[in-house]
Every structure is written in structure tokens, then in C-alpha cells.
Amino acid sequence: MHSLLIKISRFKPSIIDPPAFSTYELTPAPDWTVLDALEQIRIHQEPSLMYRRACHHASCGTCACTINGVERLACKTKLADLGTQTITLEPLHCFQRIGDLVTVRSTLFQFMQPDWSCLQPDEKRDDHDLLLSGRGQSITRFENCIECGCCVSACPVVRKNSHFIGPAVLSAINQEMKKNPSTENDLLSIAASPDGETLCQRAVACSRVCPTGVYPARHIKALRDQRKRTGNTP
Ligand code: SF4
């Protein structure tokens, strides 16, 4: 491959503040992903570069960021597939940014109840995000959602209104209802709250970016339909 320019939004509180772009040049191998590029830049050019990664195979959601303006997983996005000579990397929107591409994703869980069956207790109790969130209880994983936060970042409603409970949680509510029909009334009440499903403007941005095919917009529609059927409206 020819050389590429990787333009990264940098942020370090009180050091690179306000955020500013830095551009790095590299010559990637044909099969490199965005995460490979980040690793190479950190090792050879910018040791202070902050980003997150864990599984390297699209099953943990940790490396989600905004790539050429679209929410994606850095570990499964091939540089060659992007088709641009300059690749712009920014953190996800709508989450607290703590440095460069690193954000705090715990707000994904803030509207969820710990007893929902789609959540499992996490064996690891010192999760940094959760400590920052003050939740005190570590939780993880619901269905095939990898909690990457891409849908929340892409949602135009969340960008304008941080109170909207968002596509990931609404998807979890719908899946929880299917598994535990006895909880339907309570869950529909959450979905019907002023910060719930009614705020969705049907942009479908959530489904477009979800890397695991959760299709949050479908779950939101199912919730809306179920609310109409049962008369559970605000
Ligand atoms: Fe990520 Fe999809 Fe889960 Fe949203 S619903 S957090 S995009 S895996």
C-alpha cells in the first residue's frame, strides 16, 4: 500500500486542551486495520497516544471510535477498505472523553436495572468506567450487544439530549421483555418515560453503525408497537 496520513484528534486535559488534530504518516501492509495503525503510531511515533483495545477480533467493543466520521470498531476496519489517503480518527460522541480516543462508556448502563437478565455480574470489580460512574456494581454484556457505544454516538437525539435513554438501552429493554414477559409493564413504563422511546426520531443511525447486527431501531419500533397494543403510553 502507499503511505497514508492518519489524522487523530488529540486531547489531554490541561496539556492538549482544547483538542487538536495531529497527523501521522505511515506505510501500512495491505491487511492492516485502523487498530494496527494506532499500535504502530504509538510504538514508533507517539508513545503518549491514548486509545482502547482488548480482543482484537470485534467481540468486545472496546476500540470503537469515529473513523472518517462514522462509528466503527478500529480492530475490524481495514485501512484499505476506507478508500481515502487521509483517515480521520476521533473519539465517540456523547461520552465523557478522558484522553485522545478514550471515552467513558458507563453511561450506556446508567438507565439499566442490575436485575435485568440481559446483564450479568462482572467478576472484575475495579472497572475504571464503573468507578467513575459511581454505580458501585460492575455489570457487563447483554445479548449480542458488545456495549461498544457506536449506536449512542451516532444517534442524533442523544447528541442533542443527553437524557434520552438511547438505542442500546431500548434494545436491551425489548430483549428483556421477550425473555421475561412478566416484566412487560414495568419495562414498557421505562420505555414510555419522557426520556424514552418517544424521543426517537427514527433516524436509524443506530442500526447503520451497529457492528454486531443488533439493529436497535428495530427494537425501538417493536417497543413502540407494543406500547400502542397495550395502551402503555405516557
Ligand atoms: Fe454497539 Fe450495537 Fe450494542 Fe449499540 S446495540 S452498543 S452499536 S453492539
pLDDT at 120 (0 to 100): 56
Q: Report which protein residue has its CA nearest ligand 1's atom 5.
A: 168
Instruction: Choose among 103, 100, 102, 104: nearest CA to 9.
Output: 100
pTM score of the predicted model? 0.88
Q: Report which protein residue has its CA nearest ligand 1's atom 7.
A: 210
Report the phi/psi class of residue 188: left, alpha or beta, with left for phi > 0 and alpha for psi in -120 to 50.
alpha
Quote the CA–CA distance of 23 and 6 in Å, as a whole number. Answer: 6
Q: Which atom of ligand 1 is nearest to the CA of 144?
A: 8
**Domains, the chain, with CATH or none:** 4-104 (3.10.20.30), 106-230 (1.10.1060.10)
**What value does the mean pLDDT take over residues 167-185?**
89
pLDDT digits (tens, 9 = 90+) for 42-53: 999 999 999 999
Quote the CA–CA distance of 85 and 68 in Å, as a whole number. Answer: 11
Q: Report which protein residue has its CA nearest ligand 1's atom 4.
A: 151
Ligand 1 contacts (CB < 6 A) are 61, 145-151, 167-168, 171, 209-210, 212, 214, 216
pLDDT at 131 (0 to 100): 46
Q: Which of 158, 212, 215, 223 to mutate to test the pocket of ligand 1 (most atoms within 8 A of CB)?
A: 212
For residue 25, the CA-to-ligand 1 centroid distance in Å is 31
Residue with cell string 442500546 = 168
Pairing of strands 96-99, 102-104: antiparallel
Instruction: Select, from the ranges 73-82, 140-149, 176-185, the one with the highest average predicted confidence (pLDDT).
Output: 73-82
For residue 141, the CA-to-ligand 1 centroid distance in Å is 11
Strand order in the sheet with 70-73: 16-26, 4-12, 86-90, 64-67, 70-73
Mean pLDDT for the chain overall: 88
Please, how many CA atoms are within 13 Å of residue 130, restricted to the half-sphere of its CB?
A: 15
Q: Which atom of ligand 1 is nearest to the CA of 108?
A: 6
Q: What 3-state DSSP class applies to 18?
A: strand
For residue 61, the CA-to-ligand 1 centroid distance in Å is 8
DSSP state of 180: -
